[in-house]
Amino acid sequence: MAQAMGFFTDTSVCIGCKACETACKAWNQLPAKDGGKPPMTGDSYDNTARLSGEDWRHVKFIEQFDEDRTNGRWLMMSDVCKHCVTAPCLEVCPTGAIIRTEFDTVVIQSDACNGCQLCIAACPFGVIDVNPVSKTAEKCTLCYDRLQAGMKPACAQACPTDSIQFGPITQLRQTAAARLTQLHEQGEKRASLYGADDSILGGLNSFYLLLDKPQAYGLPAHPTMPTRNLLWGSLSSAAAAVIIGVAGLLGLRARRLNEQAGQEKAPDA
Amino acid sequence: MPDTFFTATPDWGWLVVGYLFIGGLVGGCFFLAAMLHLAGRPTDRPIVHAGYVLAMLGAMIGGILLVVHLSQPLRFWHMLVQSNTGSPMFKAWSPMSVGSWGFAAFSLFATVAAVGAWAEARHPGSRLSSVARRWPGAVIAAVGGALALFVAGYTGVMFSVTNRPLWGDSAWLGGLFLSSAAATAAALLAIIASWRGGGQHATLQWLQRIGAAALVVELLFLVAYVVSLGAAARGLAGVWGWALGAVLVGGVLVPLVMQSSKQATHGNPRLFMAAALVMVGGFLLRTVIVFSSSAIHVSGSGVHGL
């Protein structure tokens, strides 16, 4: 396997320009929504609303302001597939369409996917959606085609502030740790890393430097594998089956005994 | 906010609700029919036959719903065969993968059992009929009965094995779906037994008894489900919470009381009412489980639908 590659997204330098969104759509030939009509979400400068089959990058705008807007700050974050090391989508996919590549990234093979959408329900980050043209589940491929040609992913190439950095995971983790130290030394104590170690789903190959709690960015604090419920879910089902089955058989046995008793009594009557 | 609330919703609507209901209903029908087949007596046979035929019809309808709900329906076979290698596709840890095989096998057994039932009812002297009555029929009933239980329960486990609100927040959906499936099946077969008249009196009584047992189990799992949700139970605030309450009262408690007060007899409207409530409750339960979660989704910088 080639080296594990990924993204380190430093949200502290994101300026919300959406060059990543545009570059991603252009390179991956993703369709426009509603025939290209300008969407109005009414949610800050966010006109993409969410990651979807048509948008594999989504810049979030989080406005943290006082009531009178005298104090406050903007949080901006370019959201994308996290390319989890233990990926819930890959785990549950019943067709084998979702694979792990030689770059340790997670890719959905569109020609194998039949659109059951279980991966959408499994993803803890709300990343996957059905693309209306291919009618299959789609998401960021970490530009698998570009990686195979030795190129940077389109979004990282386009990012003008290096908020999105691409490279080998080991190197990115060192860069992130150094940046975190720098921010802490400058007094930005709220800065933290999200997914830069193995604690979240074995590590996120697309990890973040955040300036607030993960939830403020719409990220789950402790995402887990869906199979955490497999054992107890199966046991609950089996328990119900055993109880109802035994009740049914006991009922049939009682009926047979009653009938036998009735037949024995009958000659005396 | 619970971690599951930061996820996106699959577009699972009425087709999935329909499959959950019909799959559970006919899985339950086959299971009850198989019990009567293996441990019952000759007067139970008409209900055994009805259970098997319903299972076959339901497997056909359920299979169609499953295929049509895919956004690429013609690739339904990718669930069973790897499209690029041609080797079997199976993941023991993915309930949908195991479920695809289980449902396919159940459909096969339900069809064979229904053919046997048809032969027994319409051509009692035929060779097929005698095969259906002897050990091959019993084997079909036993293996098919186990598969039927699997079909009735795996969907609940599949919903628990996700990261969606109100699904992945509880491990008890498998037991809830299975017990509800058995209750709806007992209700449907009880209606049929009641229509068929006096010959099925003992069968009807047994169906009512096992239906009541299934409702009690369903009640326990429903309570366990809501309690296990913890903080995620806020997703049930509003119309879906009321609908789940309606399932609890109208689909479980009222039919239990109606059935326990007096043994219903044939053609009794009380029996029919209780059975109809159980079936409507079973359908509403699946509607609530699917749509209450789908109402919650991320958009912009927050979670919507709460």
Summarised one tens digit per residue, pLDDT across range A148-207 is 999 999 999 999 999 999 999 999 999 999 999 999 999 999 999 999 999 999 999 999
Q: Which two tokens stand for residue B120?
A: 């027994």
Per-residue pLDDT band for A108 (boundaries 50, 70, 90) equals very high
- Chain B residues whose CB is inside 8 A of the A74 CB are none
What is the mean pLDDT of the segment spanning B231-259?
94
Contact at CB, A252 and B35, closer than 8 angstroms: yes
What's the Cα-to-Cα distance from A134 to each of A170, B4, B10, B33, rounded to whole Å? 35, 27, 16, 43
Contact at CB, B301 and A60, closer than 8 angstroms: yes
Among the ranges given (A5-14, A134-143, B9-18, B259-268), the one the predictor scored with the smallest mean pLDDT: B259-268
Length of chain B: 306
* CA distance, residue A75 to nearest chain B CA (Å): 10
Contact at CB, B8 and A115, closer than 8 angstroms: no
> Residues with Cβ < 8 Å from B125, sequence gap 6 or more?
none
* CA distance, residue B127 to nearest chain A CA (Å): 29
What is the mean pLDDT of the segment spanning A97-102?
97
- Chain B residues whose CB is inside 8 A of the A87 CB are none
Strand (E) or helix (H) holding B178: helix B173-196
Q: What is the mean pLDDT of chain B?
A: 94
Per-residue pLDDT band for A269 (boundaries 50, 70, 90) equals very low
Summarised one tens digit per residue, pLDDT across range A122-144 is 999 999 999 999 999 999 999 99
- Chain B residues whose CB is inside 8 A of the A84 CB are none
Per-residue pLDDT band for A2 (boundaries 50, 70, 90) equals confident
Contact at CB, B209 and A233, closer than 8 angstroms: no
Is the per-residue pLDDT at B305 higher than 70?
no
The residue type at B144: G
Q: Which residue of B has its CA nearest to A242?
A: B149
Which of B1, B154, B174 lies closest to A215 in CB terms? B1
Work out the burial of residue A202: count CB atoms within 10 Å of its CB; fewer than 13 is exposed, 13-18 middle, 19 or more buried.
middle
Contact at CB, B157 and A233, closer than 8 angstroms: yes
Check if the beta carbon of residue A154 is closer than 8 Å to that of residue A23. yes
Alpha carbon B225 to chain centroid distance? 17
Q: How far apart are CA A108 and CA A89, in angstroms?
A: 9
Q: Which residue of A has its CA nearest to B169?
A: A229
Contact at CB, A95 and B161, closer than 8 angstroms: no
What is the mean pLDDT of the segment spanning B50-79?
97
What is the mean pLDDT of the segment spanning B233-250?
95
Q: Which two tokens stand for residue B198?
A: 């006096």
- Chain A residues whose CB is inside 8 A of the B10 CB are 117-118, 120-121
Q: How many CB pairs under 8 A join A and B?
A: 243
- Chain B residues whose CB is inside 8 A of the A221 CB are 3
Interface predicted TM-score (ipTM) of this complex, two decimals: 0.94
Contact at CB, A50 and B40, closer than 8 angstroms: no
* CA distance, residue A194 to nearest chain B CA (Å): 15
Of residues B28 and A269, more confidence is placed in: B28
Q: Give residue A22's pLDDT.
A: 96
Per-residue pLDDT band for B93 (boundaries 50, 70, 90) equals very high
User: Following DSSP, what letter does each residue of B95-126 receive, concatenated?
Assistant: HHHHHHHHHHHHHHHHHHHHHHHHHHHH-TTS
Contact at CB, A126 and B89, closer than 8 angstroms: no
* CA distance, residue B209 to nearest chain A CA (Å): 7
Is the per-residue pLDDT at B265 higher than 80?
no
Q: What is the mean pLDDT of chain A?
A: 94
Helices H / strands E in chain B, number of each: 10, 2
Per-residue pLDDT band for B198 (boundaries 50, 70, 90) equals low
What is the mean pLDDT of the segment spanning B134-145?
96
- Chain A residues whose CB is inside 8 A of the B178 CB are 237, 240-241, 244
Which of B8, B70, B154 lies closest to A114 in CB terms? B70
Per-residue pLDDT band for B173 (boundaries 50, 70, 90) equals very high
Is the per-residue pLDDT at B264 higher than 60?
no
Compute how many other C-beta atoms are within 10 angstroms of the C-beta atom of residue A182.
12
- Chain A residues whose CB is inside 8 A of the B182 CB are 240, 244
- Chain A residues whose CB is inside 8 A of the B102 CB are none
Q: Which residue of B has its CA nearest to A91?
A: B94
